[in-house]
Structure 1
């Protein structure tokens, strides 16, 4: 059994680390916490030093000030790397974590060994933007549990929900127990920053993989392809029949995509652009 304990940085960021080798940092999505990465920690830790942490306003980390922007979340990641004395790392961000990873890549390119963006958003169309803005309004009025049921239905296949009721109930509880202000601050960024510094994405030079699920309704294959087109040499992986929470629902499949990408970095620092799956 893999054993590790959660620790804290001087500023209060809660994180866990296990394994040895090149560092890989995992950033969860809005409303979740570092525990979502259990399948990836198990799958990657025999090859890499894996670090997962709680974003501001989530889990056991401090909540952000109401006016905190994406740069504040990138600064949290920078402080974590400094605390661990890591000059560089591969950054893997899921959903909202993908926005944080993008912001970090643009603010601290010298700290980025490689970039992976999973099931994240880019260039929402008017209908998609209206939907997420409405969900933000509901969160502001009713709190973190405002749209939990709809979120779980988007995130997981019906078959997975039916086969794993205890895990779905635990996730429902995680969403409901979020700090209201921290959750709202983060959700507002998730809802509005899909085009954050989009015109600067061409400056990213680290090897990059953009991946999502074929059936992810909020982080669509089209978004993944459009985002990858902005980043020189970025690869795209669209995982067949997968929905938003594919790291949780299909960890072996996601781990194989991650390991294929990470292991190719050892032989090539400039992967060619293309479709991986």
Structure 2
């Protein structure tokens, strides 16, 4: 979000799809939260460039999002304290201090206008009628203790994506940190079944 933009999820997905086009090696996109929507949009825009998707803690739309006041906080009260509270809500368990410091630094350096454009852009998206076009294998690895994206969001995704696999993990909004072992096990099992077995 430090470049020229635009920073809406569809614009980010177009840039990612263009970047993936020259690749010849198998590409697995892992998308978390807002990044999950970008990964889904990328696979829909350029299906030949994406061999598999791993999506965590997002949904087809934001109508039931557990943090609907985020755009207003970014616009009017995006202080260090507000940013820290936002990050703390991403975890069901206390994250490693070094990671928290890095996340706070990263979030503090992001231009608020760019972040707001991305967040508001996310709230205009509804993928409910497009996800049925996905044909690559999809794993939905969802932290079931999430306070923003509940299990119902993951279940909606799984119902809309043909053949999607849903795995509920004992973590919050960021299961790859909260329960890294369970997340990695689900990821490894998925890759072994759908990607590695096909490689020479």
Does the alignment pair 1:234 with 2:167? Answer: no
Does the alignment pair 1:72 with 2:15? Answer: no
Select 1:187's aligned residue among 119, 122, 126: 119
Tell me the equivalent position of 1:262. Answer: 191
Higher RCO structure (Cα 8 Å, ≥6 apart): 2
Computed over aligned residues only, the root mean square deviation of the Cα atoms, in angstroms, reads 2.5
Select 2:174's aligned residue among 228, 240, 245: 245
Structure 1 residues without counterparts, runs of 5 or longer = 1-56, 270-277
Which structure features the higher share of strand residues?
Answer: 1
| Shift, 1:87, TM fit | 6.5
Distance 1:266 1:143 in 2: 42
The number of residue pairs the alignment matches comes to: 198
Cα distance per residue 1:43-102 (max 9 Å; x no partner): xxxxxxxxxxxxxx0xxx52413xx5432111221232245x336511111111100011
Distance 1:146 1:137 in 2: 15
Q: How does 1:1-277 map to 2 (within 5 A)?
A: 57=1, 62-65=3-6, 68-82=7-21, 85-86=23-24, 88-125=26-63, 128=65, 131-132=67-68, 134-143=69-78, 145=80, 147-158=82-93, 160-161=94-95, 164-193=96-125, 195=126, 197-240=127-170, 242-266=171-195
| Shift, 1:178, TM fit | 0.9
Distance 1:101 1:181 in 2: 22
Tell me the equivalent position of 1:31. Answer: none
Distance 2:79 2:164 in 1: 34
Distance 1:266 1:170 in 2: 32
Alignment check: 8 A CA contact 1:138 1:146 kept? no
Which structure features the higher share of helix residues?
Answer: 2
